[in-house]
Amino acid sequence: MNDSLRTGLVIAAYGRHCLVETETGERLICHPRGKKSQAVVGDRVWWQASADEGTIEKLQPRRNLLYRQDEIRTKSFAANLDQVLVLLAAEPEFSESQLTRALIAAQAESIEVLIVLNKSDLGALFERAWQRLEPYRAMGQTVLALSLQDGAQAGVADLEQRLQGKTTLVLGPSGAGKSTLINRLVPAARAQTNEISRALNSGKHTTTSTTWYWVDEGKSTALIDSPGFQEFGLHHIEPTRLAQLMPDFAVRLGNCRFYNCSHLHEPGCAVRDAVGAPDGINENRYRLYGELFAELSQPRY
């Protein structure tokens, strides 16, 4: 290893340049050695000083990488995660399809997920949304209730405890309260965002999309805020692998009559037999599985 190489953490990325935090806490813009940057927020890198900036020479090995992929392109969220926090709200109504896709992508990378349902102060609307999440609780998924309305603290302490000492990516649709949550947990978030924007802008009028925040002074707990998205493509997942990545399906695998069962039409299918049964597979979950299987089975050109 070159003696001039130093280690750093990517805390923001835009285009071909990244903001890297050094071991001493300094932050500087680094550019990739080649034409294309492979670094994403959360990556540990080896970098080398160059004038007042730096060059990323090599990525350190990743534990995981959460990303989505549609027919056209791949979009990485972040690397080296301990968990993903999917923030939903009682209002506006959340998409179960998007939630399922996020869970599958995280499961594919062996990343734990917290589902957090915000706006517990909304009474009947919250109860309806909470009921929609019952199948996820039944399959062992952690689901927490939260209220961030006007400084409310309901569920905040429990959530903080579950975040402590971990690197957590926050995903969620617009209107769920993602910015409010970040600002509640990281009082200096706005200042950190401004600092990162100033560093990355450098007169180029760029903005950062994914941002790393240290929650504590000891830098043991981190939140990564990711922008909202309309689609969550799973084209990197083989359709035959879907059932393995859905816990309520996975526990029934190996019990079907045919070893290569698609769980869609074959007789003697343990998955299909469990749909709608007590302690079985929720009918809506099974419908989503069928839609995803069809989507991922489409020919790719």
The reply to whether 118 sits in an annotated binding site is: yes
Residue 30 annotated as binding site? no
Q: Has 175 been labeled as part of a binding site? A: yes
Q: How far apart are CA 105 and CA 233, in angstroms?
A: 9
- Phi, psi values for residue 170, rounded to 5°: -100, 120
Asked whether residue 176 is marked as a ligand-binding residue, the answer is yes
202-229 CB burial, b ≥16 within 10 A, e <16: eeeeeebebbbbbbeeeeebbbbbbeeb
Annotated binding-site residue? 225: no
Q: What's the gap between Cα 57 and its chain centre?
A: 27
Residue 177 labeled ligand binder: yes
142 annotated as ligand-binding: no
85 vs 112: CA distance, rounded Å: 9
Residue 261 assigned as binding residue: yes
**Does 248 belong to an annotated binding site?**
no
Q: Which DSSP state fits 260?
A: T
Q: Is 3 known as a binding-site position?
A: no
- Tell whether residue 58 is among the known ligand binding residues: no
Q: Is 173 annotated as a binding residue?
A: yes
Backbone angles phi, psi at 277, to 5 degrees: -80, 155
Rounded to an integer, what distance in angstroms lies between the CA atom of residue 225 and that of residue 242? Answer: 27
Q: Is residue 218 a known part of a binding site?
A: no
Both tokens of 210, joined, read: 């994914």
Question: What residue numbers does the annotated binding site cover?
Answer: 118-121, 172-180, 256, 261, 263, 269
Question: What residue numbers does the annotated binding site for GTP cover?
Answer: 118-121, 172-180
Question: What residue numbers does the annotated binding site for Zn(2+) cover?
Answer: 256, 261, 263, 269
